Amino acid sequence: MLTAHLNSLATSLFSFLMTLALVLSFVMLGSHWLRNHVLAFAAESWVIAALSASVAYYGHYKELYVIAGLTALFRGALLPYLLLRLVNRLKIDREFTPLFRPASGMVVGAVLILIAFALSSSIGDKLGITNNITLMALTAMFGLNLIGFLLMVVRSEAISHILGLLVIENGIFLGSQILVPGLPILLELVILFDLLIIVMTFGILVRYLKVHAGTTSSRDLQKLVG
């Protein structure tokens, strides 16, 4: 177990990074400017890369250095670059038809984090876990998942949907760095690669949407019902 023998510096570092990742997801919830979303996502990916690197250092998982590097490169640089290019090309600056105002969105987000915490503590009780880092990793994983889904539900722009999905994936990735750092490296590499392909596919489809359907907002995509 990685979390069993950590010194207090490592513990604080891990909690700091996980908290930062959660805070960044609130930045996304609180802003309607797509550019800010992409930048917050990029920052969150860098935080996760830093987390991978520190797990590699404190847990002696050398291959996680590779994962950290690739996370920073793919999730922290390449994906945000592709998304920003998409935002610029489509000339969509902001989300026009959100279901909630930013403030209400953040309140709902906070409630979701509480739910995630309750879920994690109940799992922790079942498994007899007293370690705070493990509980926090579970909370961050579930919390980011829920916030990702919230982003997808309350926003209607196609790019917001992609970002929501990426936040969900970030959550799973963050959780797995702490919980299962020994997860086969092949799997992590393929997931990174898979994510890149998914985002490229999304990019192509969003541009088709703009050209052939004339809109990229799910509110206007109402042709197929029943």
Partner 1 sequence: MLIVMEILWAIPILAILMSLLGSNRVRNEYVNLSSSAAVFVTALVLLVFSPNKPQSHVSGYILISPFGNWVTLCTGAVYLLASIYSTGYMRILNITGSQAAKFYGLLEGFALTMLIVPFMNNPGLYWIAIDFTTIVSAFLVGFEREAESIEASWKYLIVVSSGLSLSLLGIVLFYWAGTFHLGPVYSMTWATLHSVAGKIPASLLLTSFLLVLVGFGTKAGLAPMHTWLPDAHSEGPAPVSAMLSGALLNTAILGIVRFMDVLDGTKASIPAHLAVIVLGVFSLSIAAMFIVRQQGIKRLMAYSSIEHMGIIAIGFGFGGVLGIAGAMYQMLNHSLNKSLLFFGAGNAMRSYGSKEIDRIRRVLSFYPVTGTLWLLGAIAITGAPPFGLFQSELAILRAGIGGRNSWAVWVIGLLLIVIFIGFMNHFRSMFFGLEPTPDGSPTMQFNGWLEVPMWLSLAAILVLGLWWPSGMLHFFTEAGKGL
Displacement of CA 123 from its chain's centroid (Å): 22
Question: In terms of CB distance, is 103 or 120 closer to partner 1?
Answer: 120
Q: Which of 34, 152, 159, 163 binds partner 1 (CB under 8 A)?
A: 152
Number of residues that bind partner 1 (CB under 8 A): 46
Q: Which of 58, 161, 163, 203 binds partner 1 (CB under 8 A)?
A: 161
- Give CA angle at 107 (105, 111), nearest 5°: 115
Distance CA 147, CA 115 (A): 11
Q: Does 86 bind partner 1 (CB under 8 A)?
A: no
Question: In terms of CB distance, is 67 or 152 closer to partner 1?
Answer: 152
Q: Does 5 bind partner 1 (CB under 8 A)?
A: no
CA dist 218 to 1, 30, 65, 98, 221, Å? 44, 20, 39, 11, 5
Q: Does 223 bind partner 1 (CB under 8 A)?
A: yes
Question: In terms of CB distance, is 101 or 187 closer to partner 1?
Answer: 187
Q: Does 80 bind partner 1 (CB under 8 A)?
A: no
66-70 CB contacts, 8 Å cutoff, 24+ apart: 66/185, 67/177, 67/185, 67/188, 67/189, 67/192, 70/189, 70/192
**Contact footprint for partner 1 (CB under 8 A):** 1-2, 123, 126-127, 141, 145, 148-149, 152, 158, 161-162, 164-165, 168-169, 172, 175-176, 179-184, 186-187, 190-191, 194, 197-198, 201-202, 205-206, 208-209, 212-214, 221, 223-224, 226
